[in-house]
């Protein structure tokens, strides 16, 4: 029997979430080593030279980038399709995934979520209110304006659910965890798209773990998840002391 796919990375990362939603939707068995990347050891650096999560390890390959992982899962396990069938739409879906991962990542993770959640919980630092204010008044509106220009009036971005919806919603889930709400009067299409996508069973199942981890110090994540029945891997790449200097969570 084939071993389950191993995923290294925390449930609180939007990039891990994107991959876990893929695994859930495609019905692929997986186990997780739920580390926050700041706490990865040297073996983790060898697997993920940019110290990013998620890392996927299976019987054929080790991969350390969520976009590459999702494309691989789509090719190896085609059902259900999570990329548009049309070549031009598929390219646009990948572009929106890249926009979500990069630009929404900068704004919602590295500024908003980092200031409101990571800095206090991991580094014991105070939130910088001026960064939060500038992000909310300038950068977030630009991002949401662009998405609003790309989203349809109803339903998913390309008709059927795709990588683009999943990537956008994965990022917006972290925004929600940092208590950000989309103004549905100003950005009705984005608000509707995100609600629809985060309402899927795959996202709802993961949300249970996410909520609990938000109230749990990183060093206790594994123990708490074990108690909750999460599909944990037997061994871990975690250390007790966080390091700075990696690029993506």
Interface residues with its own copies (CB under 8 A) are 49-50, 60-61, 63-65, 67-69, 71-72, 75-76, 87-88, 90-92, 94-95, 98-99, 102-103, 142, 146, 247
Nearer to its own copies, 63 or 116 (CB): 63
In the complex, minimum distance from the CB of residue 71 to its own copies, in angstroms, rounded to a whole number: 7
Selection from 138, 64, 144, 63 nearest residue 104 by Cα: 144
Q: Could you give the CA distance from residue 11 to residue 34 in angstroms, rounded to a whole number?
A: 7
Helices (H), 102-187: 119-123, 129-134, 140-150, 163-177
Nearer to its own copies, 50 or 184 (CB): 50
Strand extents, DSSP E, 182-244:
none
Nearer to its own copies, 26 or 90 (CB): 90
Q: Could you give the CA distance from residue 219 to residue 22 in angstroms, rounded to a whole number?
A: 27
In the complex, minimum distance from the CB of residue 103 to its own copies, in angstroms, rounded to a whole number: 5
Nearer to its own copies, 204 or 247 (CB): 247
For residue 80, say if its preceding peptide bond is cis, omega within 30 degrees of 0. yes
Nearer to its own copies, 92 or 212 (CB): 92
In the complex, minimum distance from the CB of residue 72 to its own copies, in angstroms, rounded to a whole number: 4
Q: What is the largest CA-CA distance in the chain?
A: 54
Q: Could you give the CA distance from residue 212 to residue 83 in angstroms, rounded to a whole number?
A: 31
In the complex, minimum distance from the CB of residue 126 to its own copies, in angstroms, rounded to a whole number: 27
Selection from 106, 111, 187 nearest residue 144 by Cα: 187
Nearer to its own copies, 65 or 165 (CB): 65
In the complex, minimum distance from the CB of residue 240 to its own copies, in angstroms, rounded to a whole number: 25
Selection from 82, 113, 112 nearest residue 202 by Cα: 82
In the complex, minimum distance from the CB of residue 38 to its own copies, in angstroms, rounded to a whole number: 18
């Amino acid at each position: 029997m084939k071993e389950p796919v191993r995923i290294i990375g925390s449930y609180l990362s939007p990039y891990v979430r994107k991959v876990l939603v893929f695994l859930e939707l495609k019905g692929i068995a997986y186990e997780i080593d739920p580390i926050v990347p700041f706490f990865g050891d040297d073996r983790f650096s060898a697997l993920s030279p940019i110290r990013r999560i998620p890392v996927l390890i299976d019987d054929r390959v080790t991969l350390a980038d969520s976009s590459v992982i999702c494309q691989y899962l789509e090719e190896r396990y085609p059902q259900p399709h999570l990329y548009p069938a049309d070549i031009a739409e598929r390219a646009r879906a990948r572009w929106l995934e890249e926009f979500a991962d990069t630009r929404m990542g900068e704004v919602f993770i590295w500024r908003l979520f980092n200031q409101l959640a990571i800095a206090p919980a991991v580094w014991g630092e105070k939130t910088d209110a001026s960064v939060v204010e500038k992000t909310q008044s300038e950068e977030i509106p630009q991002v949401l304006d662009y998405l609003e220009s790309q989203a349809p009036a109803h339903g998913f971005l390309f008709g059927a659910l795709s990588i683009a919806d999943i990537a956008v919603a994965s990022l917006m889930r972290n925004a929600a965890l940092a208590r950000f709400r989309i103004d549905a009067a100003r950005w009705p299409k984005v608000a509707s798209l995100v609600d629809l996508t985060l309402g899927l069973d795959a996202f709802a199942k993961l949300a249970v773990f996410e909520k609990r981890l938000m109230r749990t110090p990183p060093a206790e994540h594994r123990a708490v998840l074990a108690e909750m029945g999460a599909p944990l891997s037997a061994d871990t790449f975690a250390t007790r002391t966080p390091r700075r200097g990696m690029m993506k969570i």
